[in-house]
Every structure is written in structure tokens, then in C-alpha cells.
Amino acid sequence: MRQTFAVFVATVITTSLFAAAVSADQATLTGQISDSMCKAKHEEAAEGAGKMADHDCTVSCVKGGSKYVLLADGKIYQIANQTFADLEKLAGQTVKMTGDVKGDAITVTSVEAAKR
């Protein structure tokens, strides 16, 4: 009985430590989804054509080979999982993005439009 209890306690402690280590890099950032080419400065679509909307510019640049990024807290975070659902839909908008942050990269686990 004591041996079973000791194994149970050891398992609980190990699981708790592992869970704390895994969630240590989780963060929720509020910022704008943009693209790696334009970042915060979306320019004219073509000479004299006027400025594109942030959403349209971001989607266009990504389709042209650029990558989605998150502009938050004065930093540019590379989005590791480029095919995450809703990145295209929310492109150019201010969002709350949750994910694993490692250096200047985030692996998104959830994203939603930020409340205004």
C-alpha cells in the first residue's frame, strides 16, 4: 500500500512539474497581424493607386510569399504555424493571440479579435 501511494505521489509531482514547464512559455499578446514585408507600414498598392486596407495588403503580401507576423509590445513576433485558422480572416486587425513564445516567435494556440 505504501509503495502504491509513493508511486502515486511521485507521478503527481512529476506531472505537475511537467505541466508548469510546458505552460511557462504560454503568453497572450495583443497586437496587429501583419506580414513580414510591410510590418507596420502598408504602402500604396501601385503607383497612384492609393493605400490598400491593412487586411488586403497583408493577405496580398502573404499570397506573394511574405509570412504572417504579430506586431505587439513594440516587437515583431514571427508566427511559427502560418496555416493556423483565422490568420487570413483577422489579418490587419488588432487581435489577442495566445501561444508558446520562444524568443521572437510564437506558435499560436488561439487567436481572436481584440475587444475595442
pLDDT greater than 90 at residue 8:
no
Residue 115 has what pLDDT? Answer: 85
Please give the biggest Cα pair distance in the chain: 81
Q: Per residue in 32-77, pLDDT tens? A: 999 999 888 777 655 556 678 999 999 999 999 999 999 999 999 9
